[in-house]
Amino acid sequence: MEKKEKVKIADLPDFAFIRPKQAASLLGISLATLYRLVWRGKLPKPRKITSRTVGWRLAELRQFLETLPETE
């Protein structure tokens, strides 16, 4: 069997969809915190990809990261 190469999020185009686990990992938060941010209106709601799958456009997550204050 061939090993799958890991895709780096930085290499993906802005229109790529990111699933919840990937989004939480990218933001450095838990899934619970991810959905809490959505509930509070700080993060856009995920889009429906299929009848049982949701995700965010990578551009939306990158934009959210840019709005966060920088920490030292």
DSSP letter string, 5-16: PPPPGGGS-TT-
List pLDDT tens digits, range 8-62: 777 788 888 999 998 998 888 999 999 999 999 999 999 999 999 999 999 998 8
Give 66's Cβ-side CA count (13 Å radius). Answer: 6
Long-range contacts of 2-6 (CB under 8 A, 24+ apart): none
Helix-helix angle 20-27:58-67, to 10 degrees: 30
The pLDDT assigned to 1 comes to 56
What residue spans define the domains of the chain? 13-64
Q: Which residue has the higher pLDDT, 69 or 6?
A: 69
The pLDDT assigned to 34 comes to 95
The pLDDT assigned to 26 comes to 84
- CA 22/CA 3 separation, integer angstroms: 19
The pLDDT assigned to 68 comes to 78
